[in-house]
Structure 1
Amino acid sequence: MKTYLLFLVALIACSGCNKFLEEKPRQKLATISTKDDLWALLNNENIFNAMSLVGEDLSDNYYLTDNTWNSIANISIRNKYGWEVSANDDVAWSMLYHRVYYANVVLESVGVIRDKLSDADYREIGAIAKFYRSLSFFELMNLFSLPYNGQSNGDKPGIPLRTSSDINVKFKRSTISECYEQIIGDLEDCMEDLPLLAQIKTRPSRLAVWALLARVYLSIGNYDRAFEYSRLVIEKKPELLNYAIIDEKKENPFGRYNAEVIHSTSNYSQLLTRQNCYVDTVLYAGYSDGDCRKKLFFVKEGEKKVKFRGSFAEDNDIQFTGSTIGEMYLTFAEASLKILDKKGDVIEKLNYFLKSRYETGKCPDIPSGDEELIDFILSERRKELVFRNRRYEDVRRLNLEGYNITFTRKLAGREYLLKPNALAYALLIPLEAINYSGIIQNSR
């Protein structure tokens, strides 16, 4: 998979939005005529399971040395590191709409050959396609639209909600509210048509839908619904790995489809390879010596530099971006405290989570004060989900709540800043997409 991902990154860097959708792929997809054709397309991990890592590229979990940054030839990749993405850079737009296109093809094709499919296949195939289209729309919203702030900006521009595979049909940018209605609506529609647990973890399941809904609702500050869906996941699959018994001597300590993985997705980023990036020093200092993640997630290089190795993708250069049970425990804890103030439930779940992550007798004390407890949960969330494409998404949300987190980079004596709630949190849409579709550009 790594070879394909490397190729895909290079392809995206030099391809425009509509170039993915030219005659050759359309002719090939026009041959879909059987159930096996549809399953073959959905089982293509290189299309449906290679998620964007741009949010992690833009986060503050890591840093590059001046020499490494200067050695990167691709200007789009260099621009991402300093939050200076221009309209000439195609940063994930094409890749994500590529996946939307294939999902739409499946949704249309399943209707065309309905008489050749059993009811079970018809429902599950359509549900899987809706899941991936929703996940793609959600990732696009995290990158190309400002974070949702309830009624105050619900009428602002979101993204084009392409629901047709016909590339000649042009879609305007829907509002932020309309986009989340589409994302959530599709997920709610598809959940009952998927098995509770998937036999193959690269396929979505009902648990994966609940986990994604919990993530979506958390990202827009709807803590009631984030609580409900994370609770559903934990009730059905509560078990966590015991990190204290995982072999830290292994190059990749975690199995790709380990027991905590709900749905497996991953991708490659040149900025995040072990060769190029180092873990942020403040982040690393937040892991105590009794925290098993400190030994399992990281490896030291010399006295001061630290590399990340804890990907559930079981590869040093491929980062896991999927959903896990551990993430759901932390979503549940944060959401339930904010809406219900049920400290007993929060502390019970947190204690179980912490015992799975720390050495025996070395779990940190859980704070008693409300503000201190929320900060503690958020700290655990960052340490747990490091390099999983969640930090940028979380900071967008938290800054709306007044956390005032500023991202900072230093390169060649120059300081780069991404300030709280900056317009730059909505990346500029690639010019080719603007010229092709006539949609409006993000403000600066």
Structure 2
Amino acid sequence: MKNLIYLFILALLITSCNGDEWLDIKPKGKVIPNKVDDYRLLLDQTQNLGKSEAIFSTTGGDLFLTDDVVIGEYIFDNSYGENSRNAYTFEAHTYLEIEEDDDWQVSYNQIYVSNVVIEEVLETSGKQSEKEALYAEAKVHRAYAYLNLVNLYSKHYNDATAGADLGVPMRLDGAIEGNLKRGTVQEVYDLILSDLKEVYDYLPDVPEFSFRPSKAAVNALLARTYLLMGDFDKALVNANKSLDIYSFMYNYNDFGKNAWYSTALDMPDFYENKEQILLKQPQNKYQLIYPSEALSNLYDKTNDWRYDGMMYAEWFPPYTNMMFLQEYMVGRSSGLSVPEMLLIRAECHARAGAADLAMDDINTIRQNRIKTAAYLPLTAAGVTEALQLVKEERRRELAFLGARWFDIKRYNTYDNANISIDHSINDESHVLAPGDNKWVLPIARKYILKNSEIEQNPR
């Protein structure tokens, strides 16, 4: 049975077609790519156009799932939409039957665009090196999208079960129609690794613009992928390769104060952030974020710029919790970054028994985040303490940047961490315990109604 993929770029849609007729008809009144510059425009799209998502847009729905965020009762009832409230309380369905899932939509939208480029660009007119670079960029964008999808809508990677666990639908061509039966988790990861390794040599070491993939980005994405797979040896190798190519970090002590918020650091906008290896921005980028007490207590609230210079206590009730002001002002950037690579390398060192090397990377980050007069290097008594310190630093540095949900899932899988999340509110209990089916997000009912072969996740 052929079914309509509900998620695609508007600019390339055929406005009227039946069955397979679209295969032989070019869209009328649309731009049809026929030279290399056209495909460059597709992969450099930095603004949403109708249903066509910017290429650096990415998932962000995990923001309301983790133990990093707390929503008070008044704020819950009056300041967030129904979808956010459903996610926060782990409801059986986040979206109504008629609603799109923004994370699913943006990911498959980009997969569709990437597939069009992969299929067509090598056969178009233009310099061979430019065509190969675009082909490579599209494969990296596709791999990034699939990595997010499989970690949101599937069980966490487990080598013993990945060959049977349901992954996500895998589309590898630019067809708008086709079977959407879910592949396995292993098949999705195999595709990601294959795509990234295939195109490495076609890319520059570092990109002209941070939203374009590069060799540094491929290594970074491989490091993240292997970390999620629990293959810490390979994650270490690729984190090292990425940092060997690019390792710039800001020292927050060098920033001045924001002109509008006197307590906040004046940090670069996400486009200008030089720590980014591959820029990706969640769709809910401008979102008031209220950190949980557990997260807040991890910071040195006086001397850590990530707290003192990036969080802000609202003065008017009932909005009196701290909000993550800086991320609200400039937009969250949850792509691949230099700090993430240092954290991955530190974790891999700790797991391999090299506590001193792990602390070296953690202290590199902290020296650039703690007020100079108060900075003291951290030390660990052994590898167990080193790993705990790495996890804490990772939680501080990557707060609200798309890491925590995946981290809890992998800690529970690989470390038997037994982490639960308590989002109880309005005298109702909403606790997500280890092993609960709700660690795997539901697929929006709209897509299953349109595509009956997509199997729903159990709730």
> What is the TM-score of this pair, normalised by structure 2?
0.85
Rate the CA distance shift 1:169–1:267 in 2: closer, same or farther, 3 A: same
Q: 1:225 to 1:23 in 2, by over 3 A?
A: same
Partner of 1:33: 34
SS in 2 for 1:146: coil
Task: State the partner residue of 1:203.
Answer: 212
C-alpha separation in 2, matches of 1:158 and 1:61? 26
Picking from 95, 98, 101, the partner of 2:106 is 95
| More helix per residue | 1
Residue 174 of structure 1: SS of its match in structure 2?
strand
* Alignment partners' CA distance in 2, 1:56 and 1:330: 20
Residue 296 of structure 2: aligned partner:
284
The corresponding residue for 1:293 is 306
RMSD of Structure 2 on Structure 1 (CA): 2.3
User: Are the aligned partners of 2:355 and 2:386 in contact in 1 as well (CA < 8 Å)?
Assistant: no
Contact 1:72 1:78 in 2 (8 A): no
Cα separation, partners in 2 of 1:29 and 1:177, compared to 1, 3 Å = farther
Match of 1:214 in 2: 223
AA of the residue aligned to 1:282: A
Asked if the contact 1:248/1:295 (under 8 Å) is kept, the reply is no
- Alignment TM-score, normalising by the size of structure 1: 0.88
Determine the structure 2 residue equivalent to 1:111: 122
Residue matched to 2:395: 382
- Code of the aligned partner of 2:323: K
- Quick one: which amino acid aligns to residue 109 of structure 1? E
Indicate conservation of the 8 Å contact 1:211/1:229, yes or no.
yes
**1:348 alignment partner, one of 325, 341, 360:** 360
Compared CA separation, residues 60 and 29, structure 1 to 2 (3 A):
farther
Q: In 1, Cα distance between the equivalents of 2:113 and 2:245?
A: 31
> Does the alignment pair 1:18 with 2:19?
no
Aligned counterparts of 2:325 and 2:247: Cα–Cα separation in 1:
25
Counterpart among 410, 414, 424 of residue 397 in structure 1: 410
Please say which of residues 24-33 and 411-420 is displaced more in the overlay.
Answer: 24-33
User: Helix, strand or coil for the counterpart of 1:150?
Assistant: coil
Task: Give the 3-state SS of the residue equivalent to 1:415 in structure 2.
Answer: coil
Cα distance in 2 for residues equivalent to 1:310 and 1:155: 42
Q: Could you say what secondary structure the match of 1:404 adopts?
A: coil
Shift of 1:95: 2.1
Letter in 2 for 1:394: D
The CA distance in 1 between the partners of 2:164 and 2:416, in whole Å, is 22
Distance 2:401 2:442 in 1: 23
Match of 2:90 in 1: 83
AA at the equivalent of 2:246: K
Matches of residues 26-425 of structure 1 in structure 2 within 5 Å?
27=27, 31-46=32-47, 47-71=54-78, 74-86=81-93, 88=97, 90-91=100-101, 92-113=103-124, 116-250=125-259, 251=261, 253-255=266-268, 256=270, 257-269=272-284, 273-274=287-288, 277-288=289-300, 289-302=302-315, 305-311=321-327, 316=329, 318-339=331-352, 341-360=353-372, 361-363=374-376, 365-400=378-413, 401-425=415-439
CA deviation string 1:229-254 (max 9, x = no partner)? 11112222233211222224455622
- String of CA shifts for 1:83-117, please: whole Å, max 9, x gaps: 1141736432222111111111111221341xx12
Secondary structure (helix, strand or coil) at the match of 2:407 reads helix
Contact between 1:106 and 1:129, CA under 8 Å: does it hold in 2? Answer: yes
CA distance in 1, matches of 2:378, 2:334: 29
For residues 133-187 of structure 1, give each alpha carbon's deviation from its aligned partner in whole angstroms, at most 9, with x where no partner exists: 1111111111110101112343211011111121222132111111100011111
* 1:3 corresponding residue in structure 2: none
Same amino acid, percent of matched pairs? 25
Residues 132 and 202, structure 2, Cα contact 8 Å, conserved in 1? yes
1:69 positional shift = 2.4
Structure 1 unaligned regions, length at least 5: 1-15
CA distance in 2, matches of 1:418, 1:317: 31
2-side partners of 1:37 and 1:348: how far apart? 46
SS in structure 1 of the partner of residue 177 of structure 2: coil
- Separation (CA, whole Å) in 2 of partners of 1:347 and 1:364: 8
Shift of 1:421: 3.0
User: Contact between 1:17 and 1:94, CA under 8 Å: does it hold in 2?
Assistant: no
Distance 1:359 1:317 in 2: 22
Aligned length: 420
Q: Secondary structure at the match of 1:235?
A: helix
| Contact 2:354–2:383 (Cα < 8 Å) also in 1 | no
Partner of 1:12: none
Tell me the amino acid that sits aligned with residue 41 of structure 2.
A
Deviations 1:202-243 (A, max 9, x none): 111111111111111111211111111111122222332112
Asked if structure 2 preserves the Cα contact closer than 8 Å seen for 1:319 and 1:388, the reply is yes
What's the secondary structure of 1:247's corresponding residue?
Answer: coil
> Secondary structure at the residue paired with 2:57?
coil
* Aligned equivalents of 2:362, 2:335: Cα separation in 1: 21
Q: CA deviation at 1:269?
A: 2.1
1:396-428 Cα distance to aligned partner (Å, 9 max, x none): 101112111111113211121111232112112
Q: Using the TM superposition, name which of 104-113 and 322-331 deviates more.
A: 104-113
Q: Gaps spanning 5+ residues in structure 2: where?
A: 17-25, 48-53
| Paired amino acid for 1:38 | Y
CA distance in 1, matches of 2:190, 2:362: 32
Say whether the 8 Å CA contact 1:396–1:421 is kept in structure 2.
no
CA contact (8 A) 2:57 2:280 kept: yes
CA, structure 1 residues 318+355, in 2 after alignment: closer, same or farther (shift >3 Å)? Answer: closer
Give the structure 2 partner of residue 5 of structure 1.
none
Which amino acid is the alignment partner of residue 45 of structure 1?
A: T
Aligned AA (1:407): I
Find the aligned partners of 2:369 and 2:108 in 1 and give their Cα distance: 37
